[in-house]
Chain A
Amino acid sequence: MAQNGTSVSIQDLSLSFGAISVLHTLNLDVAEGEFIVLLGPSGCGKSTLLNCIAGLLDISEGRIFIKGKNVTWEEPKDRGIGMVFQSYALYPQMTVERNLSFGLRVAGLPKEEIDKRIARAAEILQIEPLLQRKPSALSGGQRQRVAIGRALVRDVDVFLFDEPLSNLDAKLRAELRVEIKLLHRKLQNTMIYVTHDQIEAMTLADRIAVMKGGVIQQLDAPQTIYNRPVNRFVAGFLGSPAMNFIDGRLEKVGSDWQFAFEDVRIPLATYAFEKEPTPGPAVFGMRPEHVAFNSGAGWPFTATANVEVVEPMGSDTLVWLKLGKQNFTVRVTSERTPNNTDTVSIGFDPMRASLFDAQTGNRL
């Protein structure tokens, strides 16, 4: 990551509208050629941050560097960015070709150069046959391709995507996701991508920045964020179905730690604590797919549980259990689907668990 140097650097950025603070002292360094995804629930400030980088919103504090140049107060066009919007934002009365060339014409580029760039973008995105059409004559997927093309022709270093796939249906979304990934591989540009869709985030990103309340909660590689979330919010936001959370207590028995709730005791010998813990209330988190099902012994922790609901989803099945009095979901392959009324045995390795402080929600 660091081999190429920094492309976008955000330093101590804050933004407030009147008394409402939207972003708090944010810092973010994006390496050249990196694909960063800003992920979070609506209202977390991710789109706002992207608009700040684009220069479409004036920030209250801090500085923004792009390619080592301080662009904090530059106009959007002078920042070396291209942007793709959720609603495509194609100029409705212009043909696709004129949509693509508008920015270049504004900049006063010579006609041959404009034609060359449009030809290249149209080829990359395979929209050559659409060039003379109006946006209203295009399908959603085609419109989004044109919108990407508009960023492409600007020949910029940094691409900004603001939830570009949210307006498309599920099938098209999956297709275009792959295309964007291919595009990134081909162009090797820096891309900053805002989404609330965790699958897009997981599949596209080199690194994900999970945001909440105007603060970046965790900035890491997708697998790290998935496996070792830094707090309960990140743990709960990623993963579908969501991680199982159980409220209980952390106790020390001899030299070993265990997690206790009701009459269940989970041994934590294999769990890697961030630092030496103290006894007290805690939250135990376990992803549904990390639980083994009816697979006999051999697990550090096993228990029996009652099946409440079974949801077959095709490739696999979700089983809703009662572990003691707690709700607990398990994802199993379709072949192992239990009956609705079974009592089943489950087992898992606490190595894959996440433990959080009950008060702060931080990872223990």
Chain B
Amino acid sequence: MQKSWRRRFHLPAVIGTIPMILVAVGVFVIGIGFSVLWSFTSSKLFPTYDFVGLAQYRRLWADSRWLVSVNNIWFFGLMSITCNMVFGYLLAVFMDQRIRQEDLFRSIFLYPFAMSLIVTGLVWQWVLDPNLGLQAALRNLGWSSFSFAPLVDADTALYALVVAGIWQGSGVTMAILLAGLRGVDEEIWKAARVDGIPTWRTHMSIVAPMMKGAFATAFVLQCVGVVRVYDLVIAMTGGGPGISTSMPAVYVIQLITVRQNVGQGMAAATMMLLPVLVVLAFGGILLWRRNREASA
């Protein structure tokens, strides 16, 4: 039986995966555990273990900057994911019409994704700069009443972020959905044509439901991107004007670096983790139920 034990914990396999063990347990379990733990303390610049209960959370939810950040992330997330999906799907469908120069179009739609979000942020900062970008250019061409300066207005700056997000990310959505479209059996289209179903109906009723996997993939990718949005905000608006484009990701980093309030920062980070946990648990339950149905 001792030999059986040795085979169950094959030593080289355990040794080879030591980095994985360290990362999975050390970073993603113990690290997150400490983050949550510190959110219940009065830690300032350095962690302390002076527990203050939920005080940090109360202070967090009383902080207007945090409230603005939370509102912003919902708005930004909903807007950018919806626009991205719609625009990406349209691009994918149009790309799937046996067009000429498909590779050229694909390259054009996808290249912004290869660049840093810092670059994207700066590019759009300039395009939308009233003294340099579109507004100035169109006024120069003689349209003197033209006014388009979303970044200087606290009410519209968020829309500018959404546009930049679409510019950066919709190509990927297009690529994933196009792969999904191409994965649909050719004979489905033939059958629908023989049945006389209009093309748009075939898309909506037959093909789109068959692409559940591709949609889910694109959606998950975007959600992860939205929760982590940091670089784009820093490069494009720095959170401004005022605090109008602050996001939780920006807020947390500011608290632990500039404002040196680790306890509250960790409370905010824990709040960021919460929706992710809920979604993952939900997904896990769905997966588990599907597996159980499959095996039953």
Contact = CB atoms under 8 A, between A and B. Distances in A.
Q: Consider the complex of A and B and state whether they touch directly, i.e. have CB atoms less than 8 Å apart.
A: yes
Interface in B1-35: 3-4, 7-8
Contacts of A73: 3-4, 7
Interface string A33-76: 00000000000000000000000001000000000000001000
6 contacts: A58-B4, A58-B7, A58-B8, A73-B3, A73-B4, A73-B7
A105 B3 CA distance: 26
A360 to B, nearest CB: 28
B8 to A, nearest CB: 7
Contacts of B8: 58
B294 to A, nearest CB: 15
B5 to A, nearest CB: 10
Contacts of B7: 58, 73
Interface string A69-111: 0000100000000000000000000000000000000000000
A58 B3 CA distance: 10
Interface of A: 58, 73
A51 to B, nearest CB: 14
A191 B4 CA distance: 27
Contacts of A58: 4, 7-8
A73 B3 CA distance: 6
A58 B8 CA distance: 9
Interface string B39-56: 000000000000000000
Interface of B: 3-4, 7-8
A85 B214 CA distance: 35
A69 to B, nearest CB: 15
Nearest to B1: A73
A73 B4 CA distance: 7
A137 to B, nearest CB: 30
Nearest to A59: B4
A73 B7 CA distance: 9
A73 B5 CA distance: 10
A73 B1 CA distance: 9
A149 to B, nearest CB: 29
A58 B7 CA distance: 8
A73 B8 CA distance: 12
A179 B281 CA distance: 56
A12 to B, nearest CB: 16
A276 B23 CA distance: 71
Contacts of B3: 73
A21 to B, nearest CB: 16
A109 B3 CA distance: 27
A58 B10 CA distance: 13
Nearest to A60: B4
A22 to B, nearest CB: 15
A-B pairs, 6 with minimum CB distance: A73-B3, A58-B7, A58-B4, A73-B4, A58-B8, A73-B7
Nearest to A72: B3
A140 B83 CA distance: 51
A101 B8 CA distance: 29
A58 B5 CA distance: 10
A58 B2 CA distance: 13
Contacts of B4: 58, 73
B143 to A, nearest CB: 64
A173 B4 CA distance: 39
Nearest to A55: B7
A58 B9 CA distance: 12
Nearest to B7: A58
A58 B6 CA distance: 11
A73 B2 CA distance: 10
A83 to B, nearest CB: 18
A160 to B, nearest CB: 19
A73 to B, nearest CB: 4
A58 B4 CA distance: 7
A61 to B, nearest CB: 11
A157 to B, nearest CB: 22
B91 to A, nearest CB: 37
A186 B3 CA distance: 37
B82 to A, nearest CB: 44
B23 to A, nearest CB: 28
A305 B4 CA distance: 62
A162 B208 CA distance: 42
B235 to A, nearest CB: 45
A217 B5 CA distance: 33
A331 B8 CA distance: 54
